[in-house]
Amino acid sequence: RQQLSTAWSHPRMNTDDATADLQALHQRYRGLREGRVAGYIPELAKADPEAFAIAMVGVDGRVVQVGDSEARFTLQSMSKPLAYGLALQQLGREAVHRKVGVEPTGEAFNSIVELEEEVHRPYNPMINSGAITIAALLHEAAPGQAATRLMHMVQAYLGRPVTADEPTLRSELATGHRNRAIAHLLHHYGVIGPDIQAVLQLYSLQCSLQVGTLDLALVAATLAHRGVQPLTGRQVLAPALVRDMLSLMFTCGMYDTAGEWAYTVGLPAKSGVSGGILAVVPGRMGLAVYSPRLDAHGHSVRGMAVLKALAAQWRLSLF
């Protein structure tokens, strides 16, 4: 009983109730057709705009999935907190935050403006400039091994092997001129070393890892469970590092809508331009939605709608 009432938000909530609620939300928002599939990377534009899946994993390992559970997509920016956690583990907080700050920006995820400010340091690890700096730290700490270490870390969250979607990886590398510009600016200001190609390769690899909605919910549930993957029982990351990740997901995970997200949903979250959003209910569960049509900020429209509704219905806000 104790476990039931802490793991699931509502005292009488069981798996059947949760499934019914998620099915009702899927039904309610299936007709929502606002937004556009990301088009700035050709491979992303090929996603099925109608795909729609919701998943949740309790810290006790219970799994609920509705909709297109078989849909596969790429991790994109949802890899950023995971790479940040790995950097904390390998280099320590101090070394990481000498290079990257912990402040939210009011700018878009791929903004370049803050690099031109007085202190040439990316605001936080959740935006592209910060994530590229994290990739550089990982690369510089272990040249030639960073990709393997990152994949191992992601695999520990998912509890299964993971591979990159090669066409997306090629597409990201071939068209990522903005990220290239960011990396060059970072190098110009001495934030990262000269190995720009290797850094962009690593960053693009983490964005291109292929996942499903359940995988996102497993990542979120592991973070909800202080770093213990609920199905494998493995401690993926130390609780103190998980706390750092969640703090930054809370304040910076939704980019220039992080404030509104904190106000309306009240949970640490991370979105990606493939159309996934994962949200963490600490001590209780991980939630994930996949639907590729995005709003102007790069967040899944249905994903936002479902998580807002669910947070209200199940009273999930931390406050």
Active site residues: 77, 80, 203, 255, 273
Contact between 191 and 95 (Cβ < 8 Å):
no
If binding is defined by CB under 6 A, does position 172 make contact with ligand DON?
Answer: yes
142 Rama class: left (phi>0) / alpha (psi -120 to 50) / beta:
beta
Give the number of other CB atoms < 10 A from CB of residue 314: 19
If binding is defined by CB under 6 A, does position 273 make contact with ligand DON?
Answer: yes
Q: Side chain identity at 219, as an amino acid letter?
A: V
* Helix, strand or coil, per DSSP, at residue 314: coil
Q: Which of 133, 171, 179, 229 binds ligand DON (CB under 6 A)?
A: 179
The rounded distance, in Å, linking the Cα atoms of 219 and 269 is 11
Angle at 77 between CA 148 and CA 257, to 5 degrees: 155
Closest distance of CB 307 from ligand DON, Å: 15
If binding is defined by CB under 6 A, does position 128 make contact with ligand DON?
Answer: yes
The answer to the question of whether 203 is labelled as a binding residue is yes
Closest distance of CB 261 from ligand DON, Å: 13
Closest distance of CB 128 from ligand DON, Å: 5
If binding is defined by CB under 6 A, does position 271 make contact with ligand DON?
Answer: yes
Q: Which stretch binds ligand DON (CB under 6 A): 9-17, 219-227, 265-273, 307-315?
A: 265-273
Q: Which of 52, 73, 84, 109 binds ligand DON (CB under 6 A)?
A: 109
The tokens describing 292, both together, are 């590729």
Q: Report in angstroms the alpha-carbon separations of 154 from 19, 24, 159, 175, 212.
A: 27, 31, 8, 25, 13
Binding mask 207-246 for ligand DON (x = CB under 6 A): x---------------------------------------
Q: How far is CA 244 from the centre of its chain?
A: 14
Angle at 251 between CA 250 and CA 255, to 5 degrees: 105
Q: Which stretch binds ligand DON (CB under 6 A): 52-60, 215-223, 269-277, 301-309?
A: 269-277
* Helix, strand or coil, per DSSP, at residue 65: strand
Closest distance of CB 12 from ligand DON, Å: 36
Number of residues that bind ligand DON (CB under 6 A): 12
If binding is defined by CB under 6 A, does position 77 make contact with ligand DON?
Answer: yes
Angle at 27 between CA 24 and CA 30, to 5 degrees: 145
The answer to the question of whether 14 is labelled as a binding residue is no
The rounded distance, in Å, linking the Cα atoms of 300 and 295 is 6
If binding is defined by CB under 6 A, does position 298 make contact with ligand DON?
Answer: yes
Binding residues for substrate: 77, 128, 172, 179, 203, 255, 273
Residues that bind ligand DON (CB under 6 A): 76-77, 109-110, 128, 172, 179, 207, 271-273, 298
